[in-house]
């Protein structure tokens, strides 16, 4: 049983005993620590159970994606992040070869993004 499945069971229990959504979320944070679901997911499931849902399982999904992948609509994405989230991202231009010159340009844009978005980290080098 996954940790998310266990947390949904806990949310359902909290709804049944009359706990508020805020109380439920706080209890999940205490019980599951860093594995606790995010606030929005807790609120979503709390609302489902409050409205009468019984199942703690995900709803079935269709087997096929709604879009198809072709050479024309596939792009390469570079994402740089730290523990606070995404610092910089960019799509590789179509037809661009990743060589040392292009990579150096990306690193320069990343450096500028760190300087702007993480000024404390930038000052600490």
Assess contact for 78 and 89: CB atoms under 8 A. Answer: yes
Assess contact for 41 and 3: CB atoms under 8 A. Answer: no
Q: Which class for 7: exposed (0-12), middle (13-18), buried (19 or more C-beta within 10 A)?
A: buried
Residues 89-105: tens digit of each pLDDT: 888 887 888 889 988 99
**pLDDT classification of 4: cutoffs 50, 70, 90:** confident
């Amino acid at each position: 049983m996954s940790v998310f499945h266990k947390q949904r069971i806990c949310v359902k229990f909290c709804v049944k005993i009359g706990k508020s959504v805020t109380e439920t979320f706080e209890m999940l944070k205490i019980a599951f620590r860093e594995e606790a679901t995010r606030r929005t997911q807790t609120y979503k499931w709390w609302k489902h159970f409050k409205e009468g849902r019984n199942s703690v399982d995900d709803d079935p999904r269709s087997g096929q994606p709604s879009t198809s992948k072709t050479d024309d609509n596939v792009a390469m994405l570079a994402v740089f992040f730290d523990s606070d989230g995404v610092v910089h991202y960019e799509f590789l231009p179509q037809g661009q070869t990743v060589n040392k010159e292009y990579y150096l340009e990306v690193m320069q844009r990343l450096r500028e993004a760190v300087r702007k978005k993480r000024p404390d980290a930038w000052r600490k080098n």
